[in-house]
Amino acid sequence: MKKSALINSHLSHLVSTLGHTDEVTFGDAGLPIPDSTQRIDLALTLGVPTFLETVKVWLSEAQIEGIVLAEEIKTKNPQLHQSLLALIEQSTTQPIHIEYVSHEQFKSRTAQSKAVVRTGECSPYANVIFQSGVVF
């Protein structure tokens, strides 16, 4: 059995196949997922697992260099926004590029992701696109 925090086989495979600048989206339970994009559905019921729990485990395995967020998260879900940024800051010593786009642009951009990970989160704009970095 795998010893590190990430034991989900689909997520473990995904992180091991990422290349530099590849994108992966983590979203709330309501984020639309394009048919052309791999869906990894972790949602069990409303609120389980939470967005931040899921992101925390992902960050323990994946090297990131940037994130994309919907501009609306700043005003519609400021507590989650600040918690997410703090979690990211704690996970790396490297600078992380943060890009804000409209929610409509965010939803369109998910089609570029290698996968969209659906959580059980039920709070507004609880979505992030991670841009893969390198460990060297």
Q: Which of 28, 77, 16, 93 is nearest to 54 (CA)?
A: 28
**Residue 28 marked as a ligand binder:** yes
Q: What is the pLDDT of residue 46?
A: 96
Q: What is the pLDDT of residue 3?
A: 62
Q: What is the pLDDT of residue 82?
A: 98
The low-confidence residues of the chain, meaning pLDDT below 70, are: 1-3
* For the chain, domain boundaries: 15-132
CA distance 106 to 110: 7
**Residue 41 marked as a ligand binder:** no
**Residue 22 marked as a ligand binder:** no
- Answer yes or no: 20 catalytic: yes
Catalytic member of 10, 20, 81, 97: 20
pTM metric for this prediction: 0.96
Q: Which fold has domain 15-132?
A: RbsD-like fold (3.40.1650)
Q: What is the pLDDT of residue 1?
A: 56
**Residue 125 marked as a ligand binder:** yes
In 1-136, the DSSP E strands lie at 23-27, 38-41, 64-70, 97-101, 115-118, 128-132
